Chains A and B, each alone.
Chain A
């Protein structure tokens, strides 16, 4: 590893830092802002975001997207994926972003199906 081989800009180059240390603090500020937004929304739960959208509330989708954003910056800047060769980057990221959504999709579909069976079936679950 070269000593100063870090890529020092985030947000696709909109935000550039002078040193790696500055970038670390910058990412911390960004992650803290995102977490604060999450906590704020989690406490206030604005009524307008409680409407259902794609099987769950809009608020939950916002939480999930913000989580993925945080995960991206932790992996890219704290775990230095940004500085790795694209081969290693792909070898790490591709298995995860292919397998996990696939697993989530089939398991949640199954869970929803079983919920419907228990709702509409003739078996009483409250004996």
Chain B
């Protein structure tokens, strides 16, 4: 070893720690390692979503019918617009992040701080938008019945083709059914609040209103939900076992249960990444303000959090496509 080392001085510095592999610093390389592994994690999630969708390809909920809210536009069907806005916000905050990195290369402290600030604002707006999207999803809009087999039955007007919410037509029937409490019965079983509307109320209202028909989960050859005739609807409603309003991890009014599970899990995991990104950005922002990197002589830390931030944007590009577009 000694011999070769003295023979070739270049080799000596190669192993002596002076030369960086790939001309990248340790920290940047580790950020890339993390991003590659995180990218594989997200692809695992998105692929499992795709698996469930392919498994239920003829009955998967239609995204345009689920995500059609826009702030201050109540009752207006506005599919895509809000999520498109969110996408633009995230791309724009990616741009301000790149500009911060660029300003860092030129050692312009106040510019880095300014662009970091804009990035944080963009990230915060995005997380807020996602929370709003979740709120609408959890609350639901029309409500539906669930059959014993777990299928969702939704209601619409036969003539206008418009969806009808359960509250609009369900009859109010007298009932002695109340929410089960531990103090009043089995101490080991629990019950969440009983739905305001019961199955028999929905049935009674449905039989009374001649205009109503049922739309099932099944997609027809045009990719739209199958609408049953009035007679078939009356037969179908007999298999209903419970009322579903809104969405949680077990039931959702939009259709297949897995749809809500994957929505919560994947957008939640992504939202958690954005939230962490905002927190990290805030820390770096204050470090920029107090001049840490000015004293250190370089702004590589901004570059590293920038990589993470762009990765979050990159993941959103895919989530956007596979949840909202495809």
Q: A residues near B, CB below 8 A? A: 1, 3, 20-21, 24-25, 27-28, 31-32, 35, 38-39, 42-43, 50, 56-57, 60, 63-64, 67, 70-71, 74-75, 77-80, 84-85, 87-88, 91-92, 95-96, 99-100, 103-104, 107-108, 110-112, 114-115, 118, 125-127
CB distance from A16 to the nearest CB of B (A): 17
Q: Which one, B6-14, B136-144, B278-286, B307-315, is touching chain A?
A: B307-315
CB distance from A33 to the nearest CB of B (A): 11
Measured CB to CB, the nearest residue on chain B to A126 is B149
In the complex, the answer to whether B40 meets A99 with C-beta atoms within 8 Å is yes
Q: Is B5 an interface residue (CB 8 A)?
A: no
Measured CB to CB, the nearest residue on chain B to A74 is B314
In the complex, the answer to whether B80 meets A43 with C-beta atoms within 8 Å is yes
In the complex, the answer to whether B47 meets A24 with C-beta atoms within 8 Å is no
What are 8 of the A-B contact pairs (CB < 8 Å)? A32-B88, A35-B88, A35-B91, A63-B321, A67-B318, A88-B22, A88-B24, A111-B50
CB distance from A25 to the nearest CB of B (A): 7
CB distance from B85 to the nearest CB of A (A): 9
Query: How far, in whole Å, are A56 and B18 apart by their CA atoms in the complex?
Result: 53
Q: B residues near A, CB below 8 A? A: 22-24, 29, 32, 35-36, 39-40, 43-44, 47-48, 50-58, 64, 79-81, 84, 87-88, 91-92, 94-95, 97-99, 102, 105-106, 147-149, 151, 223, 239, 300, 303, 306-307, 310-311, 313-314, 317-318, 320-321, 324-326
CB distance from A103 to the nearest CB of B (A): 5
User: Given the complex, which residues of A lie within 8 Å of B79, measured CB to CB?
Assistant: 42-43
Instruction: Given contact pairs A38-B325, A80-B303, enumerate 8 new A-B contacts (beta carbons under 8 Å).
Output: A1-B105, A28-B95, A67-B318, A78-B313, A100-B43, A111-B54, A115-B56, A115-B57
In the complex, the answer to whether B314 meets A75 with C-beta atoms within 8 Å is yes
CB distance from B177 to the nearest CB of A (A): 25
Query: How far, in whole Å, are A95 and B92 apart by their CA atoms in the complex?
Result: 28
Measured CB to CB, the nearest residue on chain B to A60 is B326
With A42-B324, A92-B32 known to touch, is A103 a contact of B149 (CB < 8 Å)?
Answer: no
With A74-B94, A100-B40, A103-B44 known to touch, is A35 a contact of B84 (CB < 8 Å)?
Answer: yes
In the complex, the answer to whether A84 meets B311 with C-beta atoms within 8 Å is no
With A24-B95, A95-B36, A111-B53 known to touch, is A74 a contact of B313 (CB < 8 Å)?
Answer: yes
Query: How far, in whole Å, are A27 and B35 apart by their CA atoms in the complex?
Result: 22
Taking a contact as CB atoms closer than 8 A, the residue among A25, A96, A118 that contacts B55 in the complex is: A118
Measured CB to CB, the nearest residue on chain B to A109 is B54
In the complex, the answer to whether B148 meets A127 with C-beta atoms within 8 Å is yes
Measured CB to CB, the nearest residue on chain A to B92 is A28
